[in-house]
Amino acid sequence: MNFTLSRPRLPRGRPRLRPRNRFTLKILALLAFLGPGIVAANAGNDAGGIATYASVGARYGNDLLWMMVLITISLIVVQEMAARMGAVTGKGLAELIREQYGPRWSLISTFAVLFANLGIVISEFVGIGAALSLAHVPVQISVPIAAVMIWLLVVRGSYKLAERIFVAMTIPFFAYPIAAILAHPHWASVGKAVVAPSIHLNGAYLVLFIATVGTTITPFMQLYLQSAVVERGLGPEDIPAERAEVTVASLFANAVACFIIIATGATLFLHGDHTVNSAADAAKALAPLAGRYAEALFAVGLLGASLLAAAIIPVTAAYVIAETFGLEKGIARRPREAPVFVATLTVLVLVGAVVAMIPGVPVIKLLIFVQVINGALLPVTLFFVWRLSRNAELMGEYKNGRVFDLVAAATVLVTGALSVVLVGLTLAGKA
């Protein structure tokens, strides 16, 4: 007697997923979709960026919100070019500059990035200490713990783990929309300010206008994004998805910036408190005006922003130096595998943490110095991003289209010109 085992019949068509499973799959798909774009865009909302946006709101209320629309378009254009280049060429920006324009230009940009990023890292660890000091955690405890955690993540972890944690570090940015709502702004005035430009003819307005552009589109964002796209292993077939991610990320990051402006505009500006020296000052000032929860949320956002940037900026500098000299690179590489890469990010994290713990460190002067370097570096970085992304020999069918190229050229020209003006004003002592 023969016995045969038959497979159980499955229902025709796709099996229906339970609601919980569907929700889980959607979350997993979202996390898989997010990556270099969201990390790069939100790393720009660092401690210095938050202080700048808070200053805009405190001094001019909602009057500069219209500018954020234009800056968002520029950010999308610039980030898209960097991501597309990484996917097509499989090389970071510093490596392409060295190959296409020679080592001299690459070395100049490399050392400028190194000095600027060191200054920014110090300010980020100051931001970490300031945020946790609002919860009465001493700087001598918070900063060393943060430094060790960041170093272990980027050296001893894996790229996928690091990227997922970087993405998770963007979650605290949702604190700013909530803080803005708690500040009870006049939403009709907010909407009007977005579509109706309000221009003040004075030097302070011009400086804040340019500083906002500079803090929203910074050189390290493009450098990190392109290198991260390469390390993630994205290719030409991934360009549509990465373009969508870059667009969503830029919209989200600049929406956060707008909510910071709205929150401080609805509180500090309306009550005549126009002076903000740091993001922590803005958080403290919100408490008596919008309630202690607004202060706490602002502090949470500051902590998340500072942690993200404190991790990304040393990695960016390490990418740039390794690419400039043609050396091994990569997150989670061991010291024996990529000694220069690991040494660079280790030095930046160590120096940044140590300097941030020095009592009375002149953070404002440091940020001004960094502002000058970034202002001088941004036009050079954007010029190379534009020139390389329109190079038919390098990019082939993925080079800039005619209309996109005109928009990109205008973005590079205007942004570069504003950065040069900001450098001049800063050196003249008027910024």
**Residue 161 belongs to domain with CATH number:** 1.10.4160.10
Would you say residue 6 has pLDDT above 50?
no
**What is the per-residue pLDDT across 210-266, written as a single tens digit (0 to 9) for each?**
888 888 888 889 999 999 999 999 999 999 999 999 999 999 999 999 999 999 999
Mean pLDDT of 102-106: 81
- Asked if residue 84 belongs to a domain, the reply is yes
Residue 132 has pLDDT above 50, yes or no: yes
Task: Tell which wins on pLDDT, 193 or 114.
Answer: 193
In a domain, 388, yes or no: no
- The amino acid occupying position 292 is R
Confirm whether 248 is domain-assigned.
yes
The percent of the chain in helix, strand and coil, each rounded to the nearest 5, is: 80, 0, 20
Please report the pLDDT score of residue 29 as a whole number.
53
Lowest-confidence pick of 41-50, 191-200, 302-311, 375-384: 375-384
- Number of structural domains the chain divides into: 1
Mean pLDDT of 313-328: 92
Residue 22 is assigned to a structural domain of this protein: no
Structure tokens at 205: 């307005």
- Structural domain boundaries enclosing 176: 36-366
The model's confidence at residue 186, banded by pLDDT at 50, 70 and 90, is very high
Does 17 reside within a domain? no
pLDDT band at 128 (very low <50, low <70, confident <90, very high): very high
**pLDDT at 362 > cutoff 90:** no
pLDDT above 70 for 275: yes
Asked whether residue 13 is assigned to any structural domain, the reply reads: no
Are 227 and 86 within 8 A, CB to CB?
A: yes
Q: 353 near 361, Cβ under 8 Å?
A: no
Task: Kindly state the average pLDDT of the residues 368-391.
Answer: 82
In a domain, 274, yes or no: yes
Both tokens assigned to 110:
């490399």
Q: Would you say residue 27 lies in a domain?
A: no
Count the neighbouring beta carbons within 10 Å of the beta carbon of residue 270. Answer: 15
Q: What is the 3-state secondary structure (H, E, C) of 165-221?
A: HHHHCCHHHHHHHHHHHHCCCCHHHHHHHHHCCCCCCCHHHHHHHHHHHHHHCCHHH
